[in-house]
């Protein structure tokens, strides 16, 4: 369970707060009464959830690059946080083929800079490095990855996330073993939710095609992914941060957050469910010679269920219903930042209610 009293007035530093996932985390922390500072590049999409809820004027927000060690370190030192969430990254697999250097510098050097920046700050007790389910060595054999499986990655994005995991583990062993800081890494499935306008992501592509009455181009309809609503892994990160405060030695390790095994679905299944819930989705197969992407991704979540007492709450079908409703409401109320803010808070409240029932 997430403790309101724990987060009240906690000083929380978030990298990547202008992104889809970082914006939702910032909003949830605001609801819990935390004092939040974000450090990130400008929003990666237009529109963006960050701008749609006017997050710039709701938290302390600094636009900056995690690859700039001096700027990042100064930002963290000035804020003196107690909890740090590192989400800033180059997050698109296909972009990593176009610009591998940016991917590697953002995802590896950026992680090094975050870890280097927090080493000497005594107020920090919990640090969570967010990587990806794609950090594992995936041979497309359908294996459900556990936390102790080897890191790897076929493409630049996936391998950069595997490297970020190795960097985190090295810093944990080298610099944090005898400190009071808890340092954990988390690997989530394919995160979906309202307010995501990222390119080359399935549900944003579908909703964009529906709004423009065009066909959506699908690369791999039979690909299987651990889809989950964005609030699912974020709830796990919040629980883990609390646990790191209580016992940094026990919880400083890697953790998987994903759906139950029966909720791991294909791309085609998502297309069919959105067609049923919203409108018929016209799609066609992408005939281009696309770069390699893993066909199957599965996460084993037994560890978080047993040791954190965390489990997924919303099924994939509920997640799709929430997303469709969110975007329909947004479409009818574009520009009303207070309305969109309350729309997000309503979803968070709904999820919190589901946690207690």
Distance between CA atoms of residues 308 and 289, nearest Å: 43
Could you give the percent of the chain with pLDDT greater than 90?
81
Tokens linked to 19: 């992104």
For the chain, the structural domain boundaries read 4-355
Closest C-alpha to 44, from 26, 73, 12, 17: 17
pLDDT at residue 278 in the model: 81
Residues sharing a CB contact under 8 Å with residue 173, sequence separation 6 or more, in sequence order: none
pLDDT at residue 139 in the model: 84
The CATH T-level fold of domain 4-355 is: Rossmann fold (3.40.50)
pLDDT at residue 141 in the model: 83
pTM for the full model?
Answer: 0.96
- Reported residue count of the chain is 357
Question: Helices 202-211 and 267-277 sit at what angle, rounded to 10 degrees?
Answer: 40
Query: CB–CB of 9/34 below 8 Å?
Result: yes
Q: Is the pLDDT of residue 112 over 90?
A: yes
The string of pLDDT tens digits covering residues 230-280 is 999 999 999 999 999 999 999 999 999 999 999 999 999 999 999 987 888
Q: 72 to each of 10, 24, 124, 277, how far by Cα in Å?
A: 20, 22, 15, 44
Q: Is the pLDDT of residue 351 over 90?
A: yes
pLDDT at residue 296 in the model: 87
Residues sharing a CB contact under 8 Å with residue 308, sequence separation 6 or more, in sequence order: 236, 239, 240, 243, 251, 255
- 189-223 in b/e burial notation, b at 16+ Cβ within 10 A? bbbbbbbbbbeebbbbbbbebbeeeeebebbbeeb
Query: CB–CB of 233/257 below 8 Å?
Result: yes
């Amino acid at each position: 369970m997430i403790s309101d009293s724990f987060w009240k007035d906690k000083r929380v530093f978030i990298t990547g707060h202008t992104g889809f996932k970082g914006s939702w985390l910032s909003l949830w922390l605001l609801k819990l009464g935390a004092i939040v500072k974000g450090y990130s590049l400008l929003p990666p999409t237009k529109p963006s959830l960050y701008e749609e809820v006017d997050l710039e004027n709701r938290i302390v927000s600094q636009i900056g690059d995690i690859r700039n060690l001096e700027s990042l370190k100064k930002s963290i030192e000035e804020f003196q946080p107690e909890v740090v969430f590192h989400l800033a990254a180059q997050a698109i697999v296909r972009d990593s083929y176009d610009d591998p250097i940016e991917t590697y510098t953002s995802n590896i050097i950026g992680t090094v800079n975050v870890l280097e920046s927090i080493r000497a700050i005594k107020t920090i007790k919990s640090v969570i490095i967010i990587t990806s389910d794609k950090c594992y060595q995936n041979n497309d054999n359908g294996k459900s990855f556990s936390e102790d499986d080897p890191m790897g990655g076929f493409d630049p994005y996936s391998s950069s996330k595997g490297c970020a995991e190795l960097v985190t583990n090295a810093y944990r062993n080298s610099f944090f073993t005898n400190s009071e800081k808890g340092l954990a890494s988390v690997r989530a499935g394919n995160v979906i939710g309202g307010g995501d306008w990222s390119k080359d992501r399935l549900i944003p592509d579908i909703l964009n095609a529906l709004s423009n009455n065009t066909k959506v181009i699908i690369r791999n309809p039979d690909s299987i992914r651990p889809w989950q609503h964005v609030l699912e892994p974020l709830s796990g990160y919040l629980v883990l941060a609390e646990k790191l405060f209580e016992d940094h030695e026990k919880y400083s390790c890697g953790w998987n957050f994903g759906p139950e095994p029966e909720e791991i679905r294909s791309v085609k299944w998502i297309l069919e469910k959105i067609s049923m819930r919203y409108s018929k989705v016209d799609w066609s197969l992408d005939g281009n010679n696309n770069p390699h992407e893993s066909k199957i991704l599965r996460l084993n979540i037994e560890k978080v269920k047993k040791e954190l007492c965390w489990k997924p709450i919303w099924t994939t079908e509920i997640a799709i219903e929430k997303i469709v409703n969110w975007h329909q409401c947004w479409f009818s109320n574009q520009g009303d930042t207070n309305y969109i803010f309350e729309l997000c808070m309503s979803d968070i409240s709904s999820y919190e209610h589901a946690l207690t029932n």
